[in-house]
């Protein structure tokens, strides 16, 4: 029996959409190190469609095609870092543009907006994370050009309804960008809910091995705004190197397996810690007690991700004491790798951080859940 049904997402990831080298039959692509490409004799055009690697490169082609397929978009681009991907939509706006962003988001983006973007001439206004009413209140019809949301939002894991946020943005004449780093396209595809662009810090789950710095953007439409964003990447040289592109593609082949396992582990750990007497609160969208749980059920498929935060009793010293006693959770920045990590975000972000002193952020890895639970219980009991 034959069928015209396209392959499942998992199959496309594992097989890189059926890649095989046309000359050798190799199932793993080569690393394209070239920075310049030969033109046809006496012509401006290039037979392969590539001229100079700051504009376009075969090193990116497969990973961008795969990202476009995963998110159900029209086009993708990979960049030198997550911050490169995050800043491009703002840099593509006209000076003086009004933008609305969440007050809880990745701290690096918030710091850049408060510093560089304001001096760049962008009018930045903050809305309460997870609150549609707050978003509606600060959006200016006919004035706002871009709305930025992150869901779940790092590190408090606030959840916002993407479809409702898209309607608010579009009714005001604005574009909606969703930072979907934590959800990944395995759990949420924001373009299906009306988002115009999806951003990923590809350093995290997309790569998944803590050895590549990369970012990614996916567009619902290949329109004028998208072309401006592509020009920003080219003009500012925010391009991803060939080695990093190859490693990112390698990591994405197991994305579905890693995200599913991390989600299962995080759910088990969240359940186990919720009733511990030394835990004040577990912030995880998969818990029915989480204020964004119902929305998460609607827009996250197959799990709730590997990120969570735990507020422990005893304030900052209590939190740091627990971290010192953990054996399997390394104290380190970043997330989305195979290994489990913890971080005291208030210390990392500084005195202006909105994060409580007693909060520990967890990136739950793909180790055995029983070991992770036992590690946390021992640290809390200690």
Q: Is 327 a catalytic residue?
A: no
Q: Is 54 a catalytic residue?
A: yes
Residue pair 71/200 in contact (Cβ under 8 Å)? The answer is no
Between strands 307-312 and 359-363, the pairing is antiparallel
Q: How many Cβ atoms are within 10 Å of 35's Cβ, its own excluded? A: 10
- Residue 99 β-bridge partners: 124, 146
CA distance 334 to 144: 32
100 burial class (0-12, 13-18, 19+ CB within 10 angstroms)?
A: buried
Q: Which of 110, 145, 189, 204 is catalytic?
A: 204
- How many angstroms separate the most distant Cα atoms in the chain? 76
Q: Which of 12, 69, 106, 161 is catalytic?
A: 106
Q: How many Cβ atoms are within 10 Å of 297's Cβ, its own excluded? A: 14
Q: Is 211 a catalytic residue?
A: no
- Residue 144 β-bridge partners: 98
Q: Is 204 a catalytic residue?
A: yes
**Cis peptide leading into residue 155 (ω within 30°):** yes
Extract long-range pairs of 43-48: CB within 8 Å, 24+ residues apart: none
- Residue 341 β-bridge partners: 330, 363
Q: Which of 161, 179, 196, 358 is catalytic?
A: 179
Task: Return the active site residues.
Answer: 54, 106, 179, 204
């Amino acid at each position: 029996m034959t069928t015209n049904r396209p392959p499942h997402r998992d199959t496309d990831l594992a097989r890189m959409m059926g890649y095989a080298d046309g000359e050798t039959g190799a199932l793993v692509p080569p690393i394209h190190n070239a920075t310049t490409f030969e033109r046809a004799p006496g012509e401006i055009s290039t037979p392969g469609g590539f001229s100079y690697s700051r504009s376009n490169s075969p090193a990116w082609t497969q990973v961008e095609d795969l990202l476009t397929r995963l998110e159900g978009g029209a086009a993708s681009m990979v960049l030198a870092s997550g911050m490169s991907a995050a800043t491009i939509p703002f840099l593509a706006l006209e000076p003086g543009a009004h933008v609305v962003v969440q007050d809880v988001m990745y701290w690096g983006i918030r710091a850049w907006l408060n510093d560089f973007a304001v001096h760049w001439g962008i009018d930045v206004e903050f809305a309460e994370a997870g609150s549609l009413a707050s978003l509606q209140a600060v959006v200016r019809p006919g004035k706002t050009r871009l709305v930025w949301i992150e869901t779940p939002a790092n590190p408090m894991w606030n959840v916002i309804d993407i479809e409702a946020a898209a309607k608010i943005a579009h009714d005001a004449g604005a574009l909606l960008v969703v930072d979907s780093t934590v959800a990944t396209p395995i759990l949420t595809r924001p373009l299906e809910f009306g988002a115009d662009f999806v951003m990923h810090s590809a350093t995290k789950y997309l790569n998944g091995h803590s050895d590549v710095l990369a970012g990614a953007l996916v567009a619902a439409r290949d329109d004028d705004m998208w072309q401006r964003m592509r020009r920003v990447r080219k003009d500012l040289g925010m391009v991803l190197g060939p080695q990093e592109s190859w490693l990112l593609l390698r990591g994405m082949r197991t994305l579905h397996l890693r995200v599913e396992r991390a989600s299962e582990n995080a759910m088990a750990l969240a359940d186990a810690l919720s009733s511990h007497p030394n835990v004040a609160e577990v912030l995880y969208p998969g818990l029915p007690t989480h204020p964004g749980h119902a929305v998460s059920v609607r827009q996250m498929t197959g799990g709730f991700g590997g990120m969570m935060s735990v507020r422990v009793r005893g304030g900052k010293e209590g939190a740091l004491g627990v971290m010192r006693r953990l054996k399997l959770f390394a104290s380190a920045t970043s997330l989305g790798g195979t290994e489990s990590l913890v971080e005291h975000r208030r210390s990392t972000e500084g005195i202006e951080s909105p994060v409580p002193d007693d909060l520990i952020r967890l990136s739950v890895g793909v180790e055995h859940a029983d070991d992770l639970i036992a590690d946390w219980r021992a640290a809390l009991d200690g």
